[in-house]
Amino acid sequence: MTNHRGWMLVSKLQPGMRVRLKKAHPCGSYEWIVVEVKGDIRLDCVGCGRRVILPRRRLANRIREILPARVEESKPPLISLEEFLQLRQEDDDAR
CATH code: domain of residue 30: 2.30.30
Residue 69 in this model has a pLDDT that exceeds 60: yes
pTM of the prediction? Answer: 0.67
Structural domain of 8: 4-94
Domains contained in the chain, number: 1
Q: Measured between alpha carbons, how far is 77 from 71 in angstroms, rounded to an integer?
A: 9
**Predicted confidence band of residue 94 (pLDDT cuts 50, 70, 90):** confident
Q: Measured between alpha carbons, how far is 95 from 86 in angstroms, rounded to an integer?
A: 15
Q: Measured between alpha carbons, how far is 20 from 33 in angstroms, rounded to an integer?
A: 9
pLDDT tens track for 22-31: 999 999 999 9
| Segment among 6-20, 37-51, 64-78 with least mean pLDDT | 64-78
**What was the pLDDT predicted at 77?**
61
**What was the pLDDT predicted at 72?**
52
